[in-house]
């Protein structure tokens, strides 16, 4: 009996080697999970946050405080969701579910970073919110944005560095203008790297993208994303990204010991553009302590 087991183990190890150990997914049951809450941000671009009469947090941001420092308490968001859903901050139409938790797990090895997101996607976006209007329809999209080392206040403000009042779907904005980073410079690290999984519809047409946000958002060209996979079990999504530690020009090169500011964005219920649920800015540590510690 013992012999049989041993040879089975040897056989499966060889099999794993044969099928490409390069992306051997981790045993997720052993990887710590932390909930990050995403919320519907309405029209609160960085210009709004930096306007003292709109957002009293502006002064704290100037002193180095982070969004999370003021708006997260004991793992829950301290934000006024009634205000966020009101005409003042969401003139078009807010979803019923203003906020929901996303379980985040991360792990890495010599070649790859693995991130797994687990969440129940709401299906109650406002009928007026911008939605997918062409096939294939994506019921859900899940994205991770990693801040480059030179993004101004990157660790404090997270994805808000790319969120501006003149970006499409903001009131009165140019419908073609995509999100961007001010004074972006890819070579110097003032940009965001990002990758996304898109569900397709009813399990058909799922796809992935590997891009970045610099002077404008570019939905292609990344060479680091090996694969993005997702599963929908009665509305509970499990999305797993396998990303090489380093890739091409606009792929942030990651290394053990590094702490990278990042954010999560979920487009639920076929929404597009700003009608997503987003996280505040958190940090991801590769074997280093951070909000989310990727384990080896």
Residue ranges that bind ligand HEC, judged by CB under 6 A: 41, 44, 49, 55-57, 60-61, 65, 67, 69-71, 79-80, 83-84, 157, 160, 280
Q: Which is nearer to ligand HEC, 49 or 186 (CB)?
A: 49
CA gap 153, 10 in Å, rounded: 50
Q: Which is nearer to ligand HEC, 115 or 155 (CB)?
A: 155
Q: Which is nearer to ligand HEC, 65 or 188 (CB)?
A: 65
* Minimum distance, C-beta of residue 180 to ligand HEC, in the bound complex (Å): 17
Q: Which is nearer to ligand HEC, 25 or 59 (CB)?
A: 59
* Minimum distance, C-beta of residue 249 to ligand HEC, in the bound complex (Å): 28
CA gap 196, 231 in Å, rounded: 14
Hey, how many other C-beta atoms are within 10 angstroms of the C-beta on 55? 14
* Minimum distance, C-beta of residue 26 to ligand HEC, in the bound complex (Å): 31
CA gap 161, 216 in Å, rounded: 12
* Minimum distance, C-beta of residue 115 to ligand HEC, in the bound complex (Å): 22
CA gap 191, 148 in Å, rounded: 5
Nearest to 155 by CA among 283, 289, 290, 287: 283
Q: Which is nearer to ligand HEC, 69 or 203 (CB)?
A: 69
* Minimum distance, C-beta of residue 261 to ligand HEC, in the bound complex (Å): 11
The tokens for 246 are 């380093």
* Minimum distance, C-beta of residue 193 to ligand HEC, in the bound complex (Å): 19
Nearest to 222 by CA among 231, 212, 234: 212
Q: Which is nearer to ligand HEC, 45 or 230 (CB)?
A: 45
Estimate to the nearest angstrom the gap between the alpha carbon of 71 and the chain centroid.
18
Nearest to 193 by CA among 117, 246, 128, 268: 246
Spell out the residues 6+ positions from residue 245 whose beta carbon is closer than 8 angstroms to its own. Answer: 108, 110, 111, 112, 113, 224, 253, 254, 255
């Amino acid at each position: 009996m013992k012999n049989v087991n041993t040879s089975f183990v040897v056989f499966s190890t060889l099999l794993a080697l044969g099928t490409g150990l390069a992306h051997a997914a981790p045993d997720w049951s052993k990887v710590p999970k932390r909930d990050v809450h995403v919320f519907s941000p309405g029209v609160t671009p960085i210009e709004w946050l930096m306007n003292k009469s709109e957002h009293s947090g502006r002064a704290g941001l100037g002193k180095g405080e982070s969004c999370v420092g003021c708006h997260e308490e004991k793992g829950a968001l301290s934000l006024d969701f009634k205000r966020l859903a009101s005409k003042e901050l969401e003139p078009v139409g807010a979803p019923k579910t203003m906020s929901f938790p996303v379980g985040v797990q991360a792990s890495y090895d010599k070649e790859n970073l693995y991130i797994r997101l687990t969440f129940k996607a709401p299906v109650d976006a406002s009928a007026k919110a911008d939605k997918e209007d062409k096939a294939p329809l994506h019921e859900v999209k899940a994205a991770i944005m990693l801040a480059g080392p030179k993004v101004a206040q990157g660790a404090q403000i997270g994805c808000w560095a790319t969120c501006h009042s003149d970006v499409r779907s903001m009131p009165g904005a140019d419908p073609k203008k995509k999100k961007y980073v001010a004074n972006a410079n890819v070579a110097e690290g003032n940009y965001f790297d990002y990758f996304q999984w898109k569900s397709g519809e009813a399990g058909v047409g799922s796809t992935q993208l590997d891009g970045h946000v610099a002077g404008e958002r570019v939905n292609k060209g990344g060479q680091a994303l090996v694969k993005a996979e997702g599963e929908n079990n009665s509305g509970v999504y499990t999305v797993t990204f396998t990303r090489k530690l380093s890739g091409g020009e606009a792929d942030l090169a990651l290394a053990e010991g590094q702490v990278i500011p990042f954010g999560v964005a979920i487009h639920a219920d076929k929404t597009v553009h700003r009608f997503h649920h987003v996280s505040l800015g958190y940090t991801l540590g590769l074997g280093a302590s951070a909000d989310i510690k990727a384990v080896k």
